Chains A and B, each alone.
Chain A
Amino acid sequence: MASFTADDTTIEAPPRAGFSKTLKDFVRNQPLGAAGGVIVIVMILAAIFADFITVYEPEQISFEAMLVPPEWAYPLGTDNYGRDILTRIIFGARTALFVGFVAAFVGSFVGLVLGVASAYFGGTFDLIFQRVMDVFLAFPLIILALAVVAVLGTGTENVIIAITIPFIPQCARVVRSNALAIREIPYVDAARACGFSHLRIILRHMVPNVMAPFLIMVTAFVGQAILLEASLSYLGLGVQEPVPAWGLMLQGGAEEYAESAPWVAIFPGLAITLAVFAFNLFGDALRDVLDPKLRSER
């Protein structure tokens, strides 16, 4: 009497790459990218738990400890207001990552939807939309961001908007060219034949298929956004004192005390470089994994 149990009928499913295996493969094939990923994760954790891992307050001014060189009590020294630089760098990570992630995600998401819509509708809409994008793309990023800051004024939220807006056309342009190819694939026609709404076809059928270029753009944008935020803050047009931000730390005393207290100028810049470096490494690796067509020669 054969009794069928679940075990007997189980067909060995083709091994689906689990998360840990995917991760292991990534680390093995993309050691530099993995290193970048680790730095990014450490930064995110430091930003989240900034309150617990620092001894000082980021805005705590101490006139007894102005421009103290790196020592045990102040591992990276203090600035001209006696604020601990390490503390401000850790809290600065919060500002940088917040601005970076929000600007990159919002900018590329809006660009994604607009780019796909432009490809989907085609015709006059596409033509006009492309010309509008051309206008935006006629300015270097920082000029556009500066113009937006001129309108909205400085401050963290406005900096985010200023950085987000230039990202939209850049992402839309790339996504559109990918979406144009997808539009010709029969399943889009099938979806249309089923009577689905435009919105549904765009969001459910086309957007998921341009995810690879989208993710690549997002990681590239985070690094760019961090740099742009630092530049704007450095120019005095970004995040304002006393909020700890890397670019701002370089603006204040950094140049003035460059010779007598070089640590004020060195460490915040190092933090910016390391963050952008990490995101770039991670983004490059992600591109290699996600998009074999774009794979750079190695």
Chain B
Amino acid sequence: MYKYVVNRILLMLPTLLGAAVLVFIVLRLAPGDVCEMRMAGTGLFADPEAIATCQENLGLNDSKLEQFGRFIGGYAVGDLGISMWTARPVTEEIAIRFKLSLELAILATVISVLIAIPLGTISAVKQNTWVDYAVRTFSIAGIAMPSFWLGILIILGLLITTQAWFGAPWMPPIHYIPLTEDPLGNLTQLFWPALATGYRYAAVSTRMTRSALLEVLREDYVRTAHAKGLVEKLIIRRHALKNAMLPVVTIIGIEFAFLMGGLVVTEQVFNLTGIGKLFVESVLNHDFNMTQQLVMLVALIFIITNFVVDLLYAWLDPRIRYA
């Protein structure tokens, strides 16, 4: 096991390095750079000299190898550079947004689990009844529905119902309310985007819970449990669900990693300043530094989550032992 863990951690490095090379090359292939974007943004005739100075200052004229060296070398000394757009340190820019995105991702995962496990269980227990069909339609619809559209519908629904019930339209506040300052305000703000994202992710885990549980329900030990006269509820909860959770945990874990990417769209709809929105902005602004670091951050979260899921798998099922 110990050897496996070390091996996996070591294997992360080439993948991350590959990701770094990939994103570095891809960004440099793009025509135009942040300086042209910044000067053009003023709407005036861009002064070629100003652009040249700006490029010089940001080190865009250095050789590609030098630039790559700075990018990778930065990790060794813990300096991720500055945002080419705002000139503030990348770490600072990410730090103020990361809290929001992480909170949103966790909240969305919690919501999706709260939806998925009960629904998947009911669907499996009531297999091939109208309840099952309703749950399955609900979950396929969740996969088909773009989360930004669901977000728009939620805002619309909130505006209309609050108008009708309270006489004044209400929608979640746009400015971020930190959890530490006003927990209730924070929740009322983030609940809706988390719901829009969570429903979509619940769809996949509902299906997984259902099929995993169906498989387990056919096992001999479940029949034995029935034979010895155990109550159905107890059989489902203690015997079946516990064993069916394995693939579900994997799916939830993998989705948590995907959430970071999925938030890109949701944050846009609810106008939340998280890392998803930052990512879109830095892509649009050709902010190489920022985009690079964000891509690496997402890749790192993704790889680590997958790794943790694998470990969790072994921990949950003692039969699995990684050599």
Contact = CB atoms under 8 A, between A and B. Distances in A.
B156 A139 contact: no
Interface in A108-166: 131-132, 134-136, 138-143, 146-153
B18 interface: yes
Contacts of A254: 152
B295 interface: yes
A231 B148 contact: yes
A266 B153 contact: yes
Interface in B121-155: 127-128, 140-141, 143-146, 148-149, 152-153, 155
A223 interface: yes
A26 interface: no
A174 to B, nearest CB: 15
Given A227-B146, A258-B159, A259-B160, A143 B264 contact: yes
Contact of A280 (B140, B152, B280): B140
A150 B30 contact: yes
B291 to A, nearest CB: 7
Interface residues of A, number: 50
Contacts of A230: 146
B258 interface: yes
A150 B26 contact: yes
Contacts of A227: 144, 146
Nearest to A271: B149
B140 A235 contact: no
Determine the interface band of chain B, counting residues with CB < 8 A from chain A. 35 or more
Interface in A284-298: 284, 296-298
B146 A231 contact: yes
Q: Is the interface of B mostly helix, strand, loop or mixed?
A: helix
A97 interface: no
Contacts of B5: none
Contacts of A275: 144
Interface string B258-297: 1011101100110000000001100110100001000100
Contacts of B160: 259, 262
Interface in B292-323: 295, 298-299, 302-303
A131 B265 contact: no
A235 B268 contact: yes
Contacts of B144: 223, 227, 272-277, 280
Given A231-B265, A258-B155, A277-B141, A272 B298 contact: no
Given A140-B260, A140-B261, A142-B261, A147 B15 contact: no
Interface in A240-284: 247, 250, 254-255, 258-259, 262, 265-266, 268-269, 272-277, 280-281, 284
Q: Which 7 A-B pairs have the closest CB atoms?
A: A140-B261, A269-B149, A135-B18, A276-B144, A277-B144, A297-B214, A151-B30
Interface of B: 14-16, 18-19, 22-23, 26-27, 29-31, 127-128, 140-141, 143-146, 148-149, 152-153, 155-156, 159-160, 169, 210-211, 214-215, 257-258, 260-262, 264-265, 268-269, 279-280, 283-284, 286, 291, 295, 298-299, 302-303
Given A227-B146, A258-B155, A280-B143, 15 more contacts: A131-B14, A131-B18, A134-B15, A135-B22, A141-B261, A142-B264, A147-B27, A223-B144, A255-B269, A266-B156, A269-B149, A275-B144, A276-B144, A276-B146, A296-B211
